[in-house]
Structure 1
C-alpha cells in the first residue's frame, strides 16, 4: 500500500471522487502544508494556518498507478487558479500535490509538465508540488461527508 495526498479545493468532493476509484483502498480528509499543529476546520477556514484542505489516499500500486491518480486529480479541478476552486477562495483551497517519496515527486513533476505542454490549459498550471508534511485528520463529520448524505458529488 502507498499513500497519495492531494489538495484540489473543498475536500468533500475530492474525497468522493477518489474513494470510488478501483485500487483506492481508503481515503481520509484533513489538513496539510501549514504551520499550526492539529488545526481545526474553523482555523483552516480562517486562511491563517497555511494548511490546505487535502485528501489522503491509501492505494494499491498493483491496481492503480500513481500517475493515474495524478491524471484524475488534474482532470477534476482547475489547476490554473491560485488559491481558488469555484466559489471557494483562500490558500486552504489551493491546488497541491504532497509527495510521499522522491519517485512520487518525479512522476508528479513529469505529469504536470506534460499537461502544461499539451495545450489543454490556456493559463499556466499553478499546482504546488511539495514533500508531504504532517497530515492532520479532519473532524469526523467531514469524513465521507457526501457519501453520508447520499450525494455523489459537489462542485469542484
Structure 2
C-alpha cells in the first residue's frame, strides 16, 4: 500500500466514526473500467450533485479543470429559470455544474470518480446531505456518445462495487442545455469560506479531495 493510500484510508475511517448517519461521507470509488476517449481540445461535462456550491468548489480545485460554473440543467430547453424558481422544486431543473477540462490532463472517467468519491452520494434519491427535492438530485448529463457510454458503464460498476449499502439511483439524463446561475452564486466556496453551510457541508468535501486524491488536487482554484 502506498503512503497516500494509507492516509486516505485513515481519513475515511476517522470520518466514518465522527460523522452522523445522515452526513455525506467520502468513499474511494473505483477506477472506471470504461472511460471516454479523449479529444484534442478542451471538453465540457455537466454534473448535478446537490447544492452546486460544493460541487463547483471541489471541481475547481482539480488539476486539468479550466473552469467550473454553477447553474441549472435537466429542465425544458426553452424555459429560462433562476435560483428562486429552481428552488421551488417543480421546474425539472437541478442545481448543476458545467466543468471545462483538458482531457490531456484529466479524463472524464476521473471526473466521475472524484464526483462519486467526495461530492455526491449516488444512493440518495432526490437529495444530497441536508438538501431535499428534485432540484438536488444526482444526475449526469453526457454531452457526447463517449461520455454517455462511460457514464452508464460507471453507474453499473458502482452499483456492483458493494461500496454502498443501498442501490445506486443516480441517473444519466438527456442534456437540454445549461443556464448559468447568478454571479453571486459563482465561486461561492472560494469567496465565502466561513459561511456556515460551506463550513459544515462543503469544506469537508474539499479536504477529502486533498487527502484522497493528492495528485489531482491544486491549491489555487480555476477562475
TM-score, scaled relative to structure 2: 0.67
Is this contact kept in 1: 2:74–2:177, CA < 8 A? yes
Q: 1:154 to 1:131 in 2, by over 3 A?
A: farther
Quick one: which of 57, 61, 70 aligns to 1:16? 57
Is this contact kept in 2: 1:101–1:131, CA < 8 A? no
- Residue number in structure 2 paired with 1:28: 69
Quick one: which of 58, 61, 77 aligns to 2:103? 61
- Residue number in structure 2 paired with 1:92: 135
Are 2:201 and 1:155 equivalent residues in the alignment? yes
Higher strand share: 1
Q: How does 1:1-156 map to 2 (within 5 A)?
A: 1-35=42-76, 37-76=79-118, 77-150=120-193, 155=201
Q: Secondary structure at the match of 1:131?
A: coil
- Structure 1 residue 153: Cα displacement: 5.9
Rg larger for: 2
- Structure 1 residue 150: Cα displacement: 3.2
Is this contact kept in 1: 2:74–2:174, CA < 8 A? no
Q: 1:154 to 1:19 in 2, by over 3 A?
A: farther
- 1:44-100 deviation digits (Å, cap 9, x = unpaired): 000111100001000000000100000111112211011011110000000100000
Structure 1: gaps (5+ residues) = none
Q: Distance in 1 between matches of 2:184 and 2:64?
A: 25
Q: 1:56 to 1:153 in 2, by over 3 A?
A: farther
Structure 2: gaps (5+ residues) = 1-41, 203-223
